Structure 1
């Protein structure tokens, strides 16, 4: 934070306020977010708001989510959870925040491995999505269910 350009900090605070984030929120107390480029924050925010369906205040309360890789973690894990839910394979209802905060090992153990028989391509599709590619077997119903 000490090496961050003050103008950049002011711009990020203004951007956060436009999203409805109050100055005292956790988002502005998480310095890693301020180190991200405006474009990367915009891409992550748009994905989380429009595709995942999160509310701005939910993101503000969990600012670490904005520091995670969109292509390497957020999008692939969203696809896995959505696939499992829409195909009736998910036991319980883990939140998106819980899923993205899990270590890779725990995520695989809890959400991929238990479904090897019912969804044999899930592990490969997840690995493909983590590389930023479009997996071929993530098939979703036409209804747009949000997490």
Structure 2
């Protein structure tokens, strides 16, 4: 296995408890298990939550699409684009804003 058992447990816990994903949703996107929770998933969730709460991004945005974006594309589309309107978006991307979860179900 490429990913350790501990990493898989952490990821599954985060996906199920913070993102309200079902195990079947996760199994349909197996590459999610290969992503870094601390470096990619949590910062992107924080950015997405901030932008959705400000009404700049729709709730219907696919979280899997956001996770799969290259770093450059993510920064261009969701961080740099909105950093003047929402300066905290840079802090969220750097992991300085704690992600508490979404108050709604996300589109996968």
TM-score bracket for the superposition, by shorter chain length: 0.7 to 0.9
Taking the aligned partners of 1:35 and 1:53, their CA distance within structure 2 comes to 25
Aligned length: 105
Please identify runs of 4+ aligned residues in structure 1 that moved more than 3 A.
none
Instruction: State the TM-score, normalized to the length of structure 1.
Output: 0.64
TM-score (norm 2): 0.85
1:61 to 19, 28, 35: 28
Q: Tell me if the contact between 2:11 and 2:33 (Cα under 8 Å) persists in the aligned partners.
A: yes
State which structure, 1 or 2, has the greater radius of gyration over its C-alpha atoms. 1
Q: Which consecutive residues of structure 1, in runs of 5 or more, have no partner in the other structure?
A: 1-33
Ranges in structure 2 where 5+ consecutive residues have no aligned partner: none
Matches within 5 A, 1:1-147: 34-91=1-58, 93-127=60-94, 129=95, 134-135=96-97, 144-147=103-106
Equivalent pair of 1:59/1:65 in contact (CA under 8 Å)? yes
Work out which structure has the larger RCO, using CA pairs closer than 8 Å and 6 or more positions apart in sequence. Answer: 2
